[in-house]
Chains A and B, each alone.
Chain A
């Protein structure tokens, strides 16, 4: 089960934070900083997994952005790694060659994408076509 999803840039600025567990605000900031600290020190030679408190973080770096998913230790690392990639591919498709600024200026849309793909800590939809179709539908309602 996913505990939280974070997108941070190299400087540690949060670009997205989605929580599937309840934390108070201070705790959230602490987690964000901790994740940033453990993830940024790692380079390409390292695994994409970090043991984190009594969970683990599956992360992947795309350009200057770190996409991190915190899951239970028993969860399948590779599946979540692929989920991250799937997510990034959808973003890429949705924003037409996504870059960090897209995520900043459209942060609420990014949340919508997350909500279409993940829900209540589970992977909800894995088909990119379906997600994109849904996203376009939602956009047309605006």
Chain B
């Protein structure tokens, strides 16, 4: 034995320790890979030895290598060996390695279950702690299921250190094993009132995290959290609670009303920026949830906007950024309050930090109006010029388009201006967003009929100058615009002044350098143009010219034949046929035009999804025999972060009855009738055509000559638009004098003097804009569930916690367990019983309290009578009953107001407005007796399983509460010394933490209390 030990230590002498490894790596910068592979060989050798210290050392080195990015998964089993060492130092190394290397796919992980359980119940709290920490990193669904009960037990451990860890890890367990949420939740809730503030804050953290995903299940905890908020002085906890309230208020506006006052108080009093920011955010959320018809809240909005302005004006970039971020939230509901700060926001566009500029852009998006759109876009165009060659410029480009096209071009009064902006944007070389500009051009040209002739003339010029866009290099991005240009010119060729010229432009040899899909569009639309040209020429009786045109096509088309698209060769054949006909002196133009008869209408992006799948069609079945599997996995890089878009076809209902079938058939027929792509005898009636004729088209005299693209011209429109508006105003004045009565008939009933203050509605669009709506299948519903992500891991946690527990809601308990440790209170059987007891006891308790409450409030009495009448407590059926009964009896029928609640949410919310924070005890008289109860009860219950231990436990608790006050003072003292900045910043080799003082300027470096209670509990 002794010999072995000696041998071991000799072995160790020759082993390299971590320091050597690190030094070695630093000394072998040139041939690092070689050095490390040598090290790994050495480590493999070390792992084969019996000495656990050697192994631990090896594993430690592996962990370091893993951090540097080397694969060490082969050592998983050795890691487990080290984990199970009885010596804490080694155990810790093992758990560290495991938490860094293990993941759900690690197969040996299932071997760890018993080891972890043993460590969790170890008498040594550090063993327990290290196991908990490790587990939090590599917990798998299996581990979660097997260990949930053990961890739950630890939530009542005597040491707050362990309780706190257990509480936090419970969240990971919930995620991996959602079934554990219901049985564990009551205890988690108890921890909100744990005597140790750290445990409390851990519980707050976990519940906040849960509630953020599924807020409605936690609404009933609002009173409890409110109490915590008004009593807590720990800013970290306050931030979490206030964030939680931000998630809850949209569900319950009354809660929002109650929150406004304490939150505004905090905003006024706190010196911690982080807390201030959280308060402002939640106040905004509250204001959004409240109906805007509440005049007294305008003060709160003003307060928020004013505070945010201070943040934005601050020289600290962080605050500026956050201010803008929060401002954009206000913008959605209270645009007026934000709009007055337009100048400030425009200033931010010049900021050095791109993220600030982007946030400012977001804000601008919401701030445009008909009145200022042109002006704002003009400013943005200047920034576009400045931002040459950056990704920010692309961002600007998309934002300009977003801003202009938002809510169906609501703010555009002059589409000619918009088209010329788009044309100007095509000058941006190397942008990625050519397709975006292209789709805008198409969208506007198709949907705004009045603009087509202008658009076509512009597009023709783009085509003519295509060489400017393509340049000598094949820039992918911007040439997409030619796709749109070609299509627009082809489709609306009747508006072309000189179709022949455009046709020639489209057939230039240079075109063949464009990407295939654009060439295809060129060819298609060349034929459309050809049809138009033919029609005109034949109409003029000029057969000679018509034949020459055909000639031209036949000459030019072959250059496209080599392209990958089939389009060209088909069309070439067609044209050759036409030539033959022409040779026979047949007039062909009508028939050629007939190829492109009918109008193409815009189709809503979601339309395809809404088309019901015809009966008997199974989209998933193969049409042909399936080809051999091609490995397509490599093609799609699976981004872990991005939520993959669900592309599922809607789930098919397997069985449909006859009626449904008949109905569907009917629907389908109707649809076919209205579907433009469905071949039928007569063209579908145009919904919009009727409207167009009614709208008087305002003639704009185009004083601006049409310019060669590449020259900025949108600016002229700004001036022009001003003139026009001016004129309009004057006209209106005249009109009004003459036809006051007519005005009234129109229902506007404006007064004369109001003409001076130009309001939004006064600006009539220059073009009569007939924006066509996009087509949708007729039975499509506007509501959408498409946006919900079925893969959301948090969905599984959407569990109604207020329902009483049933037998199935139990955590699996391992029957074969290692012998219990001393301290951890245990409860193999205990917990099981406890759960059952708890649910029935809770009801009992609830009833008792209800009785008390009834005395307090007569209104409540009426509501609860119903419930009181449900007799009995112990029978099984009763567990279920109260829930529906209670819900019915409530006036508001809050689905979340539960029978087993500690507080009656309705009562709480309807009670008189909350007194301000200074008197927290008045907040809610009802629950004041609560905090003690559950604890006592729990102890009573648990004492049955382990009386002896529990007594000790209780004693400790009592002592602690006595000591608490003392401790608090001590902490305070210590904290202060830290706060007051004795951090020796100068001596620090990692220099300056000083720019941190930005945050600490007003407060201390640490978060400080709100000033209400003065003490820091951190």
Binding site for B on A (CB under 8 A): 1, 13-14, 16-17, 19-20, 22-25, 27-29, 32, 42, 44-51, 53-55, 60, 62-65, 74, 76-79, 81-82, 85-86, 88-89, 92, 97-100, 104-105, 107-108, 111-112, 115, 119-130, 134, 137-138, 141-142
**A118: shortest Cβ distance to chain B, in Å?**
9
Interface class of chain B by DSSP: helix
Is A122's CB under 8 angstroms from B971's CB?
no
Which chain A positions have C-beta within 8 A of B243?
74, 76
List 9 additional contacts besides A27-B640, A46-B352, A79-B239; criterion CB under 8 Å: A20-B137, A22-B103, A32-B69, A53-B641, A54-B641, A77-B274, A77-B318, A82-B1006, A122-B206
Which chain B positions have C-beta within 8 A of A129?
971, 974-975, 978
Is B975's CB under 8 angstroms from A127's CB?
yes
Which chain B positions have C-beta within 8 A of A77?
274, 277, 318, 322
Task: Report Cα–Cα, A128/B161, bound state, in Å.
Answer: 15
A-B CB proximity, top 9 nearest: A78-B274, A53-B641, A63-B990, A120-B136, A99-B989, A122-B205, A62-B990, A45-B352, A79-B274
Of the candidates B67, B69, B274, the one whose C-beta lies within 8 Å of that of A107 is B67
Binds A, one of B619-627, B676-684, B735-743, B993-1001: B993-1001
Task: Report Cα–Cα, A47/B987, bound state, in Å.
Answer: 26
Binds A, one of B164-172, B428-436, B719-727: B164-172
Which chain A positions have C-beta within 8 A of B984?
97
Which chain B positions have C-beta within 8 A of A1?
209
The answer, yes or no, to whether B321 is at the interface (CB within 8 Å) is yes
**B213: shortest Cβ distance to chain A, in Å?**
10
The answer, yes or no, to whether B702 is at the interface (CB within 8 Å) is no
Q: Can you list 30 A-B pairs with a CB-CB distance of less than 8 A?
A: A17-B100, A25-B66, A27-B640, A28-B69, A54-B643, A63-B990, A63-B991, A65-B990, A76-B243, A77-B274, A78-B318, A86-B1006, A89-B978, A89-B983, A105-B18, A105-B19, A107-B18, A108-B63, A119-B132, A120-B169, A122-B205, A123-B205, A124-B198, A124-B202, A125-B164, A126-B1018, A127-B975, A129-B975, A130-B198, A141-B89
Which residue of chain B has its CB nearest to the CB of A22?
Answer: B103
Is B1006's CB under 8 angstroms from A134's CB?
no
Which chain A positions have C-beta within 8 A of B889?
none
**B695: shortest Cβ distance to chain A, in Å?**
44
Task: Report Cα–Cα, A37/B273, bound state, in Å.
Answer: 29
Is A45's CB under 8 angstroms from B317's CB?
yes
Task: Report Cα–Cα, A45/B998, bound state, in Å.
Answer: 13
The answer, yes or no, to whether B269 is at the interface (CB within 8 Å) is no
Of the candidates B71, B273, B353, the one whose C-beta lies within 8 Å of that of A78 is B273
B104-138 vs A: 1/0 string, CB under 8 Å? 11000000000000000000001000001100110
Is A112's CB under 8 angstroms from B239's CB?
no
Which chain A positions have C-beta within 8 A of B164?
124-125
B964-983 vs A: 1/0 string, CB under 8 Å? 00000001001100100001
**B809: shortest Cβ distance to chain A, in Å?**
23
Task: Report Cα–Cα, A100/B320, bound state, in Å.
Answer: 31
Of the candidates B168, B239, B355, B641, the one whose C-beta lies within 8 Å of that of A46 is B355
Interface class of chain A by DSSP: mixed
**B313: shortest Cβ distance to chain A, in Å?**
15
Using A119-B133, A124-B168 as known contacts, say yes or no to A46 and B353 having CB atoms under 8 A apart: yes
Task: Report Cα–Cα, A78/B996, bound state, in Å.
Answer: 11
- Count contacts between A and B, CB distance < 8 Å: 185
A60, A79, A134: which has the most chain B beta carbons within 10 Å?
Answer: A79
Which residue of chain B has its CB nearest to the CB of A27?
Answer: B640
Is A123's CB under 8 angstroms from B236's CB?
yes
Using A1-B209, A124-B165 as known contacts, say yes or no to A112 and B355 having CB atoms under 8 A apart: no
Is B239's CB under 8 angstroms from A76's CB?
yes
**A39: shortest Cβ distance to chain B, in Å?**
13
Which chain A positions have C-beta within 8 A of B92?
108, 112, 138
Task: Report Cα–Cα, A129/B68, bound state, in Å.
Answer: 31
**A128: shortest Cβ distance to chain B, in Å?**
6
User: Which residues in chain B, 489-526, are within 8 Å of chain A measured between CB atoms?
Assistant: none
Is A53's CB under 8 angstroms from B639's CB?
yes
Which chain B positions have C-beta within 8 A of A81?
274, 318, 999
Which chain B positions have C-beta within 8 A of A50?
355
Is B355's CB under 8 angstroms from A105's CB?
no
B342-381 vs A: 1/0 string, CB under 8 Å? 0000000000110110000000000000000000000000
User: Which residues in chain B, 61-119, are within 8 Å of chain A measured between CB atoms?
Assistant: 63-64, 66-69, 71, 73, 88-89, 92-93, 96, 100, 103-105
**B983: shortest Cβ distance to chain A, in Å?**
7
Is B104's CB under 8 angstroms from A22's CB?
yes
Which residue of chain B has its CB nearest to the CB of A106?
Answer: B18
Which chain A positions have C-beta within 8 A of B103?
22-24
Using A44-B995, A120-B136 as known contacts, say yes or no to A111 and B96 having CB atoms under 8 A apart: yes
**B526: shortest Cβ distance to chain A, in Å?**
44
Using A1-B209, A76-B239, A77-B318 as known contacts, say yes or no to A97 and B274 having CB atoms under 8 A apart: no
Which residue of chain B has its CB nearest to the CB of A13?
Answer: B68
Task: Report Cα–Cα, A105/B17, bound state, in Å.
Answer: 10
Is A48's CB under 8 angstroms from B105's CB?
no
Task: Report Cα–Cα, A24/B239, bound state, in Å.
Answer: 33
User: Which residues in chain B, 783-824, are within 8 Å of chain A measured between CB atoms?
Assistant: none
**B20: shortest Cβ distance to chain A, in Å?**
11
Of the candidates A16, A20, A137, the one whose C-beta lies within 8 Å of that of B67 is A16
Which chain A positions have C-beta within 8 A of B642?
53-54
Of the candidates B73, B988, B993, the one whose C-beta lies within 8 Å of that of A25 is B73
The answer, yes or no, to whether B416 is at the interface (CB within 8 Å) is no
The answer, yes or no, to whether B60 is at the interface (CB within 8 Å) is yes
Using A99-B990, A127-B975 as known contacts, say yes or no to A47 and B983 having CB atoms under 8 A apart: no
B311-338 vs A: 1/0 string, CB under 8 Å? 0000001101110000000000000000
Which residue of chain A has its CB nearest to the CB of B281?
Answer: A76
Is A23's CB under 8 angstroms from B317's CB?
no
Is A92's CB under 8 angstroms from B317's CB?
no
Which chain B positions have C-beta within 8 A of A48?
317-318
Is A51's CB under 8 angstroms from B172's CB?
no
Which chain B positions have C-beta within 8 A of A64?
990
**A63: shortest Cβ distance to chain B, in Å?**
4
Is B133's CB under 8 angstroms from A25's CB?
no
Task: Report Cα–Cα, A1/B207, bound state, in Å.
Answer: 12
**B237: shortest Cβ distance to chain A, in Å?**
9
Which chain B positions have C-beta within 8 A of A128?
978
Is A142's CB under 8 angstroms from B67's CB?
no
Which chain A positions have C-beta within 8 A of B640?
23, 27
Which chain B positions have C-beta within 8 A of A54?
641-643
The answer, yes or no, to whether B224 is at the interface (CB within 8 Å) is no
The answer, yes or no, to whether B849 is at the interface (CB within 8 Å) is no
Of the candidates A28, A49, A76, the one whose C-beta lies within 8 Å of that of B274 is A76
Using A78-B274, A122-B206, A134-B161 as known contacts, say yes or no to A47 and B996 having CB atoms under 8 A apart: no
Is B69's CB under 8 angstroms from A98's CB?
no
Is A108's CB under 8 angstroms from B19's CB?
no
Which residue of chain A has its CB nearest to the CB of B984?
Answer: A97
Which residue of chain A has its CB nearest to the CB of B247?
Answer: A74
Of the candidates B64, B234, B355, B989, the one whose C-beta lies within 8 Å of that of A97 is B989
Task: Report Cα–Cα, A130/B989, bound state, in Å.
Answer: 24
Task: Report Cα–Cα, A50/B239, bound state, in Å.
Answer: 21
Task: Report Cα–Cα, A27/B198, bound state, in Å.
Answer: 34
Using A47-B353, A54-B642, A108-B96 as known contacts, say yes or no to A92 and B67 having CB atoms under 8 A apart: no
